[in-house]
Amino acid sequence: MKNIVIIGCGQGIGFAAAKLLYKQNQVFGISRTENIEVKNLNIEFYKLDILTGNLDDMPFPDVVDGLVYAPGSINLKPFNRLSEDDFKSDFDINVLGAVKTIQKLLPNLKRAESASIVLFSSVAAKLGMPFHTSISASKSAVEGLTKSLAAELSSQKIRVNAIAPSLTDTNLASQLLSTPEKREASRKRHPLQRVGNAEEVAKMVEFLLSENSSWVTGQIIGIDGGLGNLRL
């Protein structure tokens, strides 16, 4: 049984990953969001804001086989309406929160026979999209972090990969899918003609944490209904 740490397990993709992983692994979850469903899972759950909380107070397992950093943001505005604080906030949650967590758990990851880190980018880091400048900038930084860290940690048998989803049907995206018209417009933008869901992204998380992906590192894996690569 592996020890898996999931940051942001309270909702969305992080929660879907926890539901998928907890039956065959010991899952240690941290989230600033707590819900009844999380409590019903057989995981060690701690309510904490990853940006302001003290990770030194967390009783992490000595050996961590997998780390998933799932917090994110969707801050869509015209460029001239984005403040410097908007950019800083997106960078904090998407990049610096991941850095803080990885630095804290790196000794624990090194104790594993083979460890895996899973981060999250976005299709917006690859595909130029209006109103996405802040989120695209921070997610592009996640991709750079993924590749550089994968190179640095490869000799220690720690793999680092990122998943880059398009819009998925989660609480984070609820405002973008709040009406039938918005949902239909989102569906039509994707070559596969539908919006993704958290469970199918979570299955990629499961794969990247497993031995089935033991020769995969430094990759940005698009789960985006074809949006990032296809034009119809």
Q: 94: which DSSP letter?
A: I
Q: Using one digit for the tens of pLDDT, what is the confidence trace for 127-139?
A: 999 999 999 999 9
- Residue 40 binned pLDDT confidence (cut-offs 50, 70, 90): confident
Cα→Cα distances 155→42, 45, 189, 209, 210, Å: 34, 32, 41, 18, 19
Torsion of CA 210, 212, 218, 222, to 10 degrees: -90
Domain at 2-168+198-223: CATH code: 3.40.50.720
The C-alpha R_g of the chain, in whole angstroms, comes to 17
Q: How many CB atoms lie within 10 A of CB 144?
A: 13
Residue 173's pLDDT is: 65
- Residue 53 binned pLDDT confidence (cut-offs 50, 70, 90): very high
Q: Using one digit for the tens of pLDDT, what is the confidence trace for 142-199?
A: 999 999 999 999 999 999 999 999 988 877 766 777 788 878 878 888 899 999 899 9
Q: Is residue 49 within 8 Å of 31, Cβ to Cβ? A: no
Q: Which whole number is the average pLDDT over 23-33?
A: 94
Q: Is residue 68 within 8 Å of 14, Cβ to Cβ? A: yes
Residue 212's pLDDT is: 97
Strand order in the sheet with 220-223: 44-47, 25-31, 2-7, 66-69, 115-120, 158-165, 220-223
Q: Is the pLDDT at 208 greater than 90, yes or no? A: yes
Return left, alpha or beta for 131; rule: phi > 0 is left, psi -120 to 50 is alpha, else beta. Answer: left
Mean pLDDT, all residues of the chain? 94
Q: Using one digit for the tens of pLDDT, what is the confidence trace for 70-102?
A: 998 888 999 999 999 999 999 999 999 999 999
